[in-house]
Structure 1
């Protein structure tokens, strides 16, 4: 059981709170935001009368199908299809979870699962890639956020539900699958992938330059908050034990995950104030999360990178740090998934995943269908470096005077660094984030 110390009503929760947003083609169903026992949504006495006429119509349709359909259909199939229809027509994130899907949902935040490593959603009847997960078959094959999956193993996806598409992409590790993709309105192209056991490393960190750190969160898992704390300590140690001059927090293509992890990550950079709150029709959906006084980041200058694949829990972190004026948010607009799903276990190993609330940033902004707008928009760009013409400098001239302050000579080519590549060299957005941090430190006299 996850310890939920900031919850207004912790007794109502039976599983980890999650903030996933889409289907996950890694052998799991779409994760949810809240998991409550059925009694948490018990009616308070304001039940509406049963729509008897509509119920009579439902029974009549059921009888007509059983009597006249070209092939026999059993009652169980018809009733389960009716339940699925009720949920699928509410919103893209509500669903009826059968036993296998419910079991996979409960295992979805362990960080290890089988599949492709791709988050998908539905847009205009097509299956759309929301974000590939780092170091998975999908990311290695070059699949990008925004790609439309038009065929799966030759079968058109138009009209498929998200759960149906996810089911087709799941499979035994080691087996192959062919996806036909369309990118930015171009011609379809095929990608062959091999399903694998996906082991997601939630937190990655490294030094970009002396004094400047990089911290990437690929997905919010149960232990992500703890891992971010360790990463911050590790970055300080790698900076000779001194406080960092600046840090880039990379949330690009992070599809979300555990809500409590998003709260804990935000709390590492905040010492007071509201982080996020939720509002819905049921009392148990109204929750508020506040920061603790400790600041593991030591107030380091912070830039948060987001893009269209940053969703849900990622948007909570970016929105909290933006509203609290704790960070500069850079990149492109985030995905805009600001609804909360509650998983309601049923009594037959099945469950309902039902949208029950919206979540809001500290300033009261709803992220739903709008997303987080960056403070500084920086789109992705491909860098090409021109070969600089060799030129002479004063220090190259024979008999030049030495530096009057005793500094070393700097002839042409003397500033060429090592040949080892750096992440910011081929990542324009990351390079701009680092430049901004340097500029902030210059103006602050650091």
Structure 2
């Protein structure tokens, strides 16, 4: 008997997991029997198929092996590709009011050119109230073909509401924030915050380090706090920017086969480095932190990291939906398996509730500890002399 479209999709997912999933016991269950059970149920429409796939994957007890409907899959691709077509706004929901707020317009974007500012509130997008929209829904409504216009009703303190018609364009997502600071001892210091590992991260970080070197940076603080990770390859390439040599990470698949990624050098800088981590530092961020710690390249400050030592591969399914499957686990250069354990920093400093504006200021205790450590480092003192 021929399979229905819904049954074909379920079978497609089952086969991918059967072929690639890290745990060949499939969470100690008969994987073939799971498939039979799902196919024996009535899958009347796409929604039923998606629910059945979700249930099938849930039996693996792995939160990272998951089904993505077409919209979620497209959204993930946009985030990791580092490029989208839209107006160029970073947005957030204000925790107190629940209103949709502009964090910042991306530099050089149509939104910045139109005069939209940080802290502006987006009241309507194309006449639709943002009151009940999720962040994803709001972002999706602002994206669209290059050259098309989007109408935003903006509310600004002291100025009331104003309508902006903004053209959409190709926006490059830069996950790097970098600036030259001066330590209390007068040492020029490169402060770099990396927010995620998208396809642009290695190039943007290299650009930031080179700029800071030209400006005379004698030491660095790399801030990986609340960086959820992203592309494995981006994490490896970023590690290579800091390391002259050494193993970056080992990967182990279900056959127990170990692969490794090495650094070939030369590093862009040999200056002293402190890396800030916390419980939100995960995945590719932990690969980078582990590589820099185990190779003796950096001192880690903050809290034990999230503990996601599993590697996922993304598969596109026949109907435009997607599937993320855990295909391997990784170990740090010293063969530490960090899954569910995380990476312990060299110096533990608890996080405190601070706002986005207070990151990297006197109120940021983890940042202040990093400054103190670099001040004690005689190399920095010598360079500053």
Find out whether 1:221 has 2:159 as its counterpart. Answer: no
* Cα deviations by residue, 1:234-260 (Å, 9 ceiling, x for unpaired): 112112xxxx43211111111111222
Q: SS of the residue aligned with 1:355? A: strand
The residue aligned with 1:82 is 52
Q: Is the 8 A contact 1:278 1:286 kept in 2?
A: yes
Give the conservation status (yes or no) of the 8 Å contact 1:41–1:282: no
| Separation of aligned partners in 1, 2:299 and 2:254 | 34
Equivalent residue of 2:242, what SS? coil
1:294 pairs with 266, 272, 276, which one? 266
Choose the corresponding residue for 1:259, options 232, 245, 268.
232
2:222 is equivalent to residue 249 of structure 1: yes
User: For 1:88 and 1:57, how far apart are their aligned partners in 2?
Assistant: 14
Q: Is the 8 A contact 1:208 1:214 kept in 2?
A: yes
Higher relative contact order (CA 8 A, sep 6+): 1
What are the superposed Cα offsets for residues 271-299 of structure 1, whole Å, 9 maximum, x if unpaired? Answer: 1110012112158x8532100121111x1
CA-CA distance at 1:112 after TM superposition: 5.3
1:144-165 Cα deviation digits (max 9, x unpaired):
xxxxxxxxx899xxxxxxxxx9
Out of 201, 205, 227, the position equivalent to 2:178 is 205
For residues 28-427 of structure 1, the aligned pairs below 5 Å read: 41=19, 58=38, 62=41, 74-90=44-60, 91-111=62-82, 135=104, 172-173=141-142, 200-209=173-182, 210-239=187-216, 244-281=217-254, 286-297=258-269, 299-381=270-352, 423-427=360-364
Relative distance call for 1:47 and 1:340 in structure 2 (3 A) is closer
- Cα deviation, residue 357, structure 1: 1.3
Give the whole-Å Cα distance in 2 for the aligned partners of 1:52 and 1:275.
37
Cα deviations by residue, 1:322-346 (Å, 9 ceiling, x for unpaired): 0111110001111111111122233
The structure with the largest helix share of the pair is 2
Structure 2: segments with no counterpart, 5+ residues = 1-14, 94-101, 106-117, 120-130, 143-150, 154-165
Instruction: Decide which structure has the larger Cα Rg and report it.
Output: 1
CA distance in 1, matches of 2:136, 2:210: 41
Distance apart, 1:262 and its partner CA? 1.0
User: How far did residue 54 of structure 1 move?
Assistant: 6.7
- Cα distance, 1:269 vs structure 2: 1.2
Instruction: Give the match's secondary structure for 1:263.
Output: helix
Q: Could you tell me how far apart the structure 1 residues matched to 2:285 and 2:31 are?
A: 41
Measure, in 1, the Cα distance between the counterparts of 2:32 and 2:352.
59
Aligned in 2, Cα 1:58/1:224: closer, same or farther, shift over 3 Å?
Answer: closer
Name the TM-score, length of structure 1 as normaliser. Answer: 0.57
Normalised TM-score (structure 2): 0.65
The 3 A distance-change label for structure 1 pair 363 and 229 is same
- Summarize deviations over 1:374-421 as a string: whole Å, max 9, x none: 1001123589xxxxxxxxxxxxxxxxxxxxxxxxxxxxxxxxxxxxx9
Cα distance in structure 1, aligned partners of 2:381 and 2:136: 53
Quick one: distance in 2 between partners of 1:53 and 1:259?
Answer: 33
Call closer, same or farther: CA 1:292–1:306 in 2, change over 3 Å: same
1:107 partner SS? helix
